[in-house]
Every structure is written in structure tokens, then in C-alpha cells.
Amino acid sequence: MKMAHAYRDKLVVGNWKMHGNTLENQARFDALRGHVRRYTETVKIAVCVPFPYLPQAERGLHQSGISWGTQDVSPHAHGAYTGEVSADMAREFGARYVIVGHSERRAYHSESATEIAMKARRALESGLTPIVCVGESLEERELDRTNDVVASQLNTVLDSLSVYERLQLVFAYEPVWAIGTGRTASPAQAQDVHAHIRTLLVSRDRELVNLSILYGGSVKAGNAENLFAETDIDGALVGGASLDPVEFTGICAAAHQAAQK
């Protein structure tokens, strides 16, 4: 499948994690259509829902300009892999994005860097845009290993892809110590790592300078504007605050403002 190359798209993606039910989801889809849709001319907006709710997302967001996706995908195309969901299956329900290598999956499902690279590749083969998460633990930050950890996570994915495939990626810098903790990296801390990621990308292929790099970790309406003001922060991957329509709308509004500058 042919896909357009990214050009520093402003992108805000909600990660609903394992929250919601059909009733709550409907209220969230209605709120997205009612309040968030107005920002889709300047900002790409998506929500990554639990697998069973893909058909509901397809119905609820149809022709809204807001995309949907999944929070994981199988590294295999098809076959005897009980419990797995393939990228082609997600595509059948209109999914556009998939989060790969989220720190919760690395931690609770022992996902290896190689497996994450396979997932990204499989997603691309099916026409999904992988949002590849990278980020250090608190211990790694305190040992001053942030840049090395991020470089190793990023390079394992890049190594498994062609230049053309690399151009379809989105990266999300998510310091593990800032996820779901209420503790956000300061805009300057986040910018340092984003600049490092962009330098790493350019050192691999010059064209990768235009990939979108999102920040994730306790982003809220109240801190989004300052984060988005940083040169290398192109948007956000939002967990907790994506479940609250007022918060999520505020984050999308901040991205819209940043896109107009």
C-alpha cells in the first residue's frame, strides 16, 4: 500500500489503554466529534482503543476527520498464534495507527526490542502507521543513560526497515517515570531528548528529519502549550487525559495553536 511521507505532522494520539465500555466509549466518540473535530484541519488526531472496540470506533468516528487505531499488534501476519490480533485484522476496521513498544508492554509482556521491530514492520506492511515508543526508566535517567537507551531502542527498529519504510514511522518519546505518574518531563528535558532523537534519525537518513516525534507522559491541557512550544516536539501521545474529553480537547487546542505559529 502506498502511503504519503510524513512532514513534521502535528499529531495528538489518545491511548485509552484498557479503559471504557460501549456506553462510555460512545460518550467519548460524541465528544470527539463535537469538540475535537474542529482542530483536524491543522492537527492529525487519533485514539487508540482496545481491540474489541474497533468496530465501534469505526462507526463513531466515521467521516469525522479523527482517526483510530490499536495499542498493539501481532508481529505475525497470520497463523496459529492464539490470542493475537494481526495488522490486517485491525485494518479491516479502518485502523490507521498502532502503538508499538509502549513501556507497559515492554514491562508487563517482556516485549523485546526485536519483537517490537517486527511489530512495526508488520504494521507497515498492512498500511498501519506505527507509533514507536522509546524512553528510559528513572534509574536509567539517574545513571545518565537516557540517550543511550533511547538510541538503542530506536536503532533496533530502524535496522529492520528499508529507508522507504522508515519514512512512514512516528516516534513517541515516553520517559517511563512520567507515564501515569502525574510527573511530566519539563519542556526542556523533553526537548533535549527529542533533539537527540532527531539527530539520530538524520544520522541514519537525511530524509528522516521530517518524522513526527511525539512526547508522552502525563500530558494535560495545562502543560501541553509549553511542551508544544519546543522546537522538536510535534505532538503528544496521551494516556489518562485522553479519557477526559475536556482535557483531550484542551490538548488538541494547544496543538492547533502551535501549528498556527
Min dist CB 217 to ligand PEP, Å, is 5
Active-site residue, from 136, 140, 165, 174: 174
**129-134/11-15 β-pairing:** unpaired
Rounded Cα–Cα distance for residues 212 and 60 (Å): 26
Question: Does position 71 bind ligand PEP by CB under 6 A?
Answer: no
194 is annotated as an active-site residue: no
User: Least distance to ligand PEP from the beta carbon of 132, Å?
Assistant: 12
Rg of the chain over Cα atoms, rounded to whole angstroms, equals 17
* Binding positions for ligand PEP, 167-206, rule CB under 6 A: 174, 179-180
| Min separation Cβ 183 and ligand PEP, Å | 9
| DSSP-H helix ranges across 96-186 | 103-108, 113-125, 138-142, 146-159, 163-166
Number of residue whose CB is nearest ligand PEP: 239
Q: How far is Cα 27 from Cα 32, in angstroms, rounded to an integer? A: 9
Residues 6+ apart with CB under 8 A from 199: none
| Interface stretch with ligand PEP, choices 54-62, 185-193, 233-241, 248-256 (CB under 6 A) | 233-241
Interaction between residue 240 and ligand PEP (CB under 6 A):
yes
CA–CA distance, 195 with 30 (Å, rounded to integer): 36
Residues engaged in binding ligand PEP (CB under 6 A): 15, 174, 179-180, 216-219, 237-241
Catalytic annotation, residues: 102, 174
